Amino acid sequence: MRHSTPAPQPPCAPEAPEAPEAPADTADTVATAPAAEGGGTGPARSGRPPSGHGISRPAAAPEAVPSPQTPWSPPPAPAPWLFPARDRPGPRTAAAPAPAPPDRLRAVLFDRDGTLVEDVPYNDAPERVRPVPGVREALELLRARGIALGVVSNQSGVARGLLTRDRLTAVQRRVEELLGPFAVWAVCPHGPAEGCGCRKPAPGLVHAACARLGVRPEHTVVIGDIGADVRAARAAGARGVLVPTPITLPREIAEAPETAPTVAAAVRALLREHVPRHRAGTGTGTGTGTGRGRAGAGTADRESRESRESRGHR
């Protein structure tokens, strides 16, 4: 019996495994390509060049929407120093001003050097403080009427490196030991070229002192010995009184709206103006104080003043 051998069968080709589906967030996802000139959009892989187009470039990202720009504003001007600080422990150096009618005197602000104390350029030594004669008595008259007192002073020696804040406050403490307390010290520590708004004759010191005292400039008098003092008062809306010294220039005296021979005379005149009507006959004295060689200063004194101005004194 013959057995037939079956013909060999060709081997079966193995099934190709299915390609895994690419995740949707990979760099190789299908994206819609920009329409070519002539129309249509078609699928294109962002990571592979379409055939027949040579070197391809990635599709341009959408342009970012520009954010609105912050408008430019100039930096704030340097501010004055105010003493005492509001949070200083212990009692205040002076009481708040008593209520007064709108046309009454509420505060008097004094220049320091040449007005309250003898002028020592860039003084950083408390032992060199010398009060102007008659000033202490004049200040006590104002304090007795409940009028607030303050000091407004240019001290460019700080900017020039000749003074420090600690030495400045040491001198101020000595002034108060000799003349009594002041409710506010407003000091400009800047140099002439710093562009601040507080260096006299700018009005910043007067405004800052009035704000600290809670009074309006029109209820305030500024007393000083040079033209910058009265110009600062005028610029701030306050009243300015010039008390000339040997360094006061003749043109400053001529331009001043009001002058007095001494600080004591200026204070007495102010109090006579503002004394209540029922006390008008009591009088407060008409003396002119201690005279200090005011107007009519010699040429040498004027030259000394001009020389110090050229050095930026005060």
Q: Which two tokens stand for residue 128?
A: 């060199």
Q: Identify whether 111 is a catalytic site residue.
A: yes
Q: In which residue are the tokens 């200040």 written? A: 139
Buried b vs exposed e over 266-294: b needs ≥16 C-beta within 10 Å? bbbebbeeeeeeeeeeeeeeeeebeebeb
Q: Identify whether 113 is a catalytic site residue.
A: yes
Q: Which of the following is catalytic: 28, 87, 113, 225?
A: 113
Residue 206 backbone phi and psi in degrees, to 5: -65, -45
Q: Which of the following is catalytic: 25, 103, 111, 124?
A: 111
| Three-class secondary structure of residue 44 per DSSP | strand
Q: Which two tokens stand for residue 184?
A: 């506010």
Torsion angle, alpha carbons of 200, 204, 206, 209, to 10: -130
Residue 252: burial class (beta carbons within 10 Å; 0-12, 13-18, 19+): buried
Just list the catalytic residues.
Answer: 111, 113
